[in-house]
Amino acid sequence: MVKAVVGANWGDEGKGKITDMLSKEADIIVRFQGGANAGHTIVNDYGKFALHTLPSGVFYDHTTSIIGNGVALNIPVLFNEIKEIVDRDVPMPKILVSDRAQLVMPYHILFDEYEEERLAGKSFGSTKSGIAPFYSDKYAKIGFQVNELFDEEALKEKLERVVVQKNVMLEHLYHKPALNVDELFETMMEYRDMVAPYVCDVSAFLYQAIKEDKNILLEGQLGSLKDPDHGIYPMVTSSSTLAAYGAIGAGIPPYEIKKIVTVVKAYSSAVGAGAFVSEIFGEEADELRRRGGDGGEYGATTGRPRRMGWFDCVASKYGCRIQGTTDVAFTVLDVLGYLDEIPVCVGYEVDGEVTTDFPTTGKLENAKPVLKILPGWKSDIRGITKYEELPENCRKYIEFIEEQIGFPITMISNGPGRDEIIFR
């Protein structure tokens, strides 16, 4: 059976933890989109890890971890990550990389930096991992697939062609040094040697695995609201964050995805620019940020402080719907135990009217939150393993949100650890 684990919000919902937990019963875990611009934080028996490219299943020796064709593959980052986990005594994971995955080129990272510099105050808040230039090139059909590394002559010819265009931009738009084809070619040969042992026809592999009834997890990055089509365009990421894209980014039939576990966080956080209706500021935000996640709400890749907000029913209802949610995993609920009262955003006021439907970006910029105040439970819920044992106000918070978003909350995460989960 194929299950997807995806986010309903702006990312950082705790997908890594949920994937790591569900990986216990999985045979194969596939990353199907995104790149090293976001990260998952995972806490398990080996310690605490920030993964950017490797699927969250790499800590189990019974799983195969796959980088699908939809991923923006940064080969040096992948290899450093493998090295980092192996150096910390995790057994060498079984990894396969799609022969159709495309490469983040060294110049994608440069262009990302140069463009942010050029846009200055009007920038998108890119993590400068080269993701937007990468996907632009992919769809402009001047990207490089992994398999192209193995045909030296064709590769050199294509590099020469692509570099002509890049150098015009570098010289005239960014006023930066030109690229050198020979150097790039040498780098590509190093990449080829690094990736060679893992290259695989992933869709054929998964076709066989599905036939053999293997358990497959598709692991998404970021969340619904960062999807380029359905999110807060243009303050979005460059590849689809939706479970539906899992079929494309892994190379499997869409009807094989039977379960869509959407991870929803018990409060809101976001990184980068863009409207964030339930955002809070000042001391209130600082405290939630300090207490949030596991050791504070700071970017796993960049260390940037995340923007904080109350739970947003409007955004989460939409985020779950657009994912096609079958199950909600409700995370980091333990963090809210310090609050006397917990505000929840239950509607948006847009141009004098209240709505619970998530609007398009222009209207979103003018939306004001309609808050409802729920009582807190003022206790530490970590260590609780049964739903009935949660404090009454905590259950009421969960049930209120479940009703507002309209999708069943079947898992509640009350701590960062693998086993800190309550099934309902």
Per CB under 6 A, residues contacting ligand GDP are 7, 11-17, 38, 40-41, 43, 293-294, 300, 331-332, 334-335, 413-416
Q: How far is the CB of 333 from ligand GDP (least distance, A)?
A: 6
Report the DSSP beta bridge partners of residue 269: 308
Please, which residue, 16 or 35, has the CB nearer to ligand GDP? 16
Q: How far is the CB of 299 from ligand GDP (least distance, A)?
A: 8
Q: How far is the CB of 291 from ligand GDP (least distance, A)?
A: 8
Residue among 360, 243, 274, 211 nearest 10 (CA) = 274
Question: Which residue's entry shows tokens 């001391």?
Answer: 283
Among 20, 40, 52, 327, which one carries the catalytic annotation? 40
Please, which residue, 306 or 317, has the CB nearer to ligand GDP? 306
Q: What's the alpha-carbon Rg for the chain, to the nearest Å? A: 22
Q: How far is the CB of 233 from ligand GDP (least distance, A)?
A: 21
Please give the order of strands across the beta sheet that includes 199-200.
Answer: 199-200, 94-98, 64-67, 28-31, 216-223, 2-7, 257-265, 327-331, 409-413, 421-423
Please, which residue, 155 or 411, has the CB nearer to ligand GDP? 411
Please, which residue, 302 or 413, has the CB nearer to ligand GDP? 413
Please, which residue, 332 or 384, has the CB nearer to ligand GDP? 332
Q: Which amino acid is at 98?
A: S
Whether the CB-CB separation of 78 and 35 falls below 8 Å is answered with no
Please, which residue, 28 or 51, has the CB nearer to ligand GDP? 51
- Local structure of residue 91 (DSSP, 8 states): P
Q: How far is the CB of 306 from ligand GDP (least distance, A)?
A: 8
DSSP letters for 249-315: HHT--GGGEEEEEEEEESSEEE-SSS--TTEE-HHHHHHHHHHSTTT-SB-TTT-PBPEEE-EEHHH
Give the C-alpha distances (Å, rounded to integers) separating 360 from 239, 275, 325: 19, 11, 21
> CA 277, 278, 282, 287 torsion: positive or negative?
negative
CB atoms within 10 A of CB 84: 14
Residue among 221, 313, 319, 320 nearest 267 (CA) = 313
Among 12, 20, 99, 327, which one carries the catalytic annotation? 12
Q: How far is the CB of 286 from ligand GDP (least distance, A)?
A: 17
CA separation for the pair 53, 84 (Å, rounded):
12
Query: Is 12 marked active-site?
Result: yes
Active site residues: 12, 40
